[in-house]
Amino acid sequence: MTDTTDDAVREWEAHVYEFLDEPIPDAIRAHAATTVGDILCAAVAGSAVPGVDAVEATGEFGDGPATVLGTDRTTTPEAAALCNGAAAIAQETDEGHDTGGHVGAGIVAGGLAAAEAADVHGSTFVDACTRSYELCVRLERAIFAMKARLNEATPWLLRDPHSTWTVVGPALTAAQCFGATADELRETFRIAANLAVLSMHDPYDEGPPARNFTAGFSAQVGVSAARTALAGLTGSESAIGAVYDPFDAMLPDSEFADSFESLGERWEITRNYFKPYPSCRYTHPPLDALRAAVERDRASTVEPAGSGGETRRRIDPAAIESIEIETFANATDMSNPTPESFTAAKFSTPYVLARYLRSGELGLSHFTPDAIADPTVRELAERVRLVGSERFEDAFPEKWGAAATVRLADGTVHSGERSFPTGDHRDPMDEAALRTRQRELLLEGLSETETTAALDAITTVDDRPVREITDALRSETA
């Protein structure tokens, strides 16, 4: 293990390397295994997204042992990380952490390719993902602080960058799966921590497939960083100081350095969330607040909600005069009422709310071109207004809250409020709901028969070799 008394190794950095050698408690691994399995489902679903599917099918990447999920193709670990990393975020169904970022997608998508190439066991892969997740949440907080300052200076240039933690995560996961020594893990971290994949402009309104590949490139770069460290490349110690030392001044009360002292004690992965709706997480608090308003209204019509026998109360969209959403500042950016593309619709709260009111649910099928162009939905979306609220802003990011006020043409007013959305670690989805959602995701890329086997694989991800898992996530009908 790295000598933590070395002057070249900062105290917070020493905590990183010590943690990479620590065992993972069983309860933490169990939650991490659920997280890994859920991200794999998201990647399979994303393999069917236009743009992603074309690259996966026709990209000239070369032969290799790593699976492109949801397809019948194998390629190099770097190329598989690119494709699976893009697919994992494409449907907006990947998990996230309550600090605001999507930590797990790159870690799992990039690390999976290395784990498969190295033929490791699922428990080794899950442990590697868990360690990387804990480190990346702590880096993410600092990067978000830096991003805010960059955006003040160049708001047109760095709108929503995928940044260093999305490279460090897959790099460290890959290196652990490749069997890196302690010194090689140190150099992997230093190489990856000096890299960032930035989206110069992240056009949610336009929503081109290139947006998804920003995450894919991060995963690919991470795997390459691990490869170079194992080949003998050394990272930059001076860059660690020049880039990361200022974070202590940017964050209050030595929060940056102190956060690494809690490694192995405070498990951030247990504070993540799983998405019940396939849209940007910022659209979820408004949707849950809207549901709290309209579904408890006894005057609304009652209609079946699906095969589970559950019923939902619905209000006739034509009777709605306006919908006002109060929420935190970041969520008010999701205000485009007329999205023109798949991705733009997933980042549009007016569309998400209007589509839910029109259909009584929100699923993958509600983001097709025909669904987005529905004139009833478009008209209703124009009646949605997002308003920043000081009380919700003050609680963010610890809580992601929203309040909905629905005014009907007859003067009736319905209101609802949520402090945090469904799927949050304080209001988790139950196992049955999670499995139903995962089945829906897998069916986007696999056949019925393949989905049955895939569900078994992702629910036992830490109890079998990784290659058995990837075999179950291939599609022979793609």
Answer whether the bond into residue 465 is a cis peptide, omega within 30°: no
Which amino acid belongs to residue 205? D
**Coil, helix or strand for 50?**
coil
Give the alpha-carbon dihedral of 248, 399, 281, 85, to 10 degrees. Answer: 40
Q: How far is CA 19 from CA 3, 15, 107, 127, 323, in A?
A: 13, 6, 17, 12, 48
Q: Output the six-digit token pair for 254.
A: 């030595």
Predicted local confidence at residue 162, as pLDDT: 62
Q: Output the six-digit token pair for 152.
A: 């003040």
User: Of the candidates 162, 167, 234, which has an alpha carbon nearest to the alpha carbon of residue 201?
Assistant: 162
Q: What is the mean pLDDT of the chain?
A: 90
Overall average pLDDT of the 109-133 stretch: 97
Beta strands (DSSP E) in 315-464 are: 320-327, 384-388, 402-408, 413-418
Q: Output the six-digit token pair for 361.
A: 């649910």
Report pLDDT digits (tens) over 32-42.
999 999 999 99
Report pLDDT digits (tens) over 390-422.
999 999 988 999 999 999 999 999 999 999 999
Predicted local confidence at residue 474, as pLDDT: 96
Task: Measure the CA–CA gap between 438 and 432, rounded to whole angstroms.
Answer: 10
> What's this model's pTM, rounded to 2 decimal places?
0.92
The fraction of the chain above a pLDDT of 90, given in percent, is: 75
- Structural domains in the chain? 11-276+444-472 (1.10.4100.10), 281-418 (3.30.1330.120)
The number of CA neighbours under 13 Å toward the Cβ of 350 is 26
- Which H or E element spans position 448? helix 448-458
pLDDT at 230 over 50: yes
Ranked by mean pLDDT, the top range of 157-161, 178-182, 205-209 is: 178-182
pLDDT at 249 over 90: no
- Helices 165-177/210-230 angle, 10° precision: 50
Task: Measure the CA–CA gap between 63 and 386, rounded to whole angstroms.
Answer: 49
Predicted local confidence at residue 300, as pLDDT: 43
Report pLDDT digits (tens) over 314-330.
688 899 999 999 999 98
Radius of gyration of the chain, Cα coordinates, nearest whole angstrom: 22
The overall longest dimension of the chain from CA atoms, in Å, is: 73
